[in-house]
Amino acid sequence: MIELDLLNLLPHRDAMLVLDKVFLDGDMAIGKKKFTGEEWFFRGHYPDNPIVPGVILCEIMGQSACGLFQDQLEGRLPYFTGLDKVKFHHPVVPGDEITTRVELVRQMGQIYFLKAEGYVEEIKCVSGQLSFAIVER
């Protein structure tokens, strides 16, 4: 398993860089994010019962997926083009560390279709199909 450099891999910065680490393990990208409870979205989602928003979980899976494209991103950007069959199986809360697993299912030109899942320990919390386009900057 090889750890990738997030700042060289992803164009995201500040509050939208939602991963702590990303690894490449053969044909699978693995992302990790530990939620401290201090993240900006917990202030409003929900103040008395903080839960990681589903869109943030999808973004974490998407940023993890970029590990699969590392050799194709020089001078190019990964654009999220779709989400399909996304399911939220279990809430993710402050103190949890989510581990994502993303695999390429197929490619059509510069469009990539992927399968993604996110787990806290062995509990599946989110799953879905993602698609990306790799475009010139």
Tens-digit pLDDT profile for residues 37-74 = 999 999 999 999 999 999 999 999 999 999 999 998 88
**Of 12, 45, 89, 90, which residue is the catalytic one?**
45
* Local confidence band at 32 (pLDDT 50, 70, 90 cut-offs): very high
The tokens for 35 are 């939620």
CATH number of 2-136: 3.10.129.10
The tokens for 87 are 């399911």
Domain ranges (residues) in the chain: 2-136
pLDDT score of 74 = 87
Measured distance CA(37)–CA(35) in Å, rounded: 6
Provide the greatest CA pair distance for the chain. Answer: 46
**pLDDT tens string 110-137:** 899 999 999 999 999 999 999 999 999 8
45 part of the active site: yes
Measured distance CA(29)–CA(103) in Å, rounded: 7
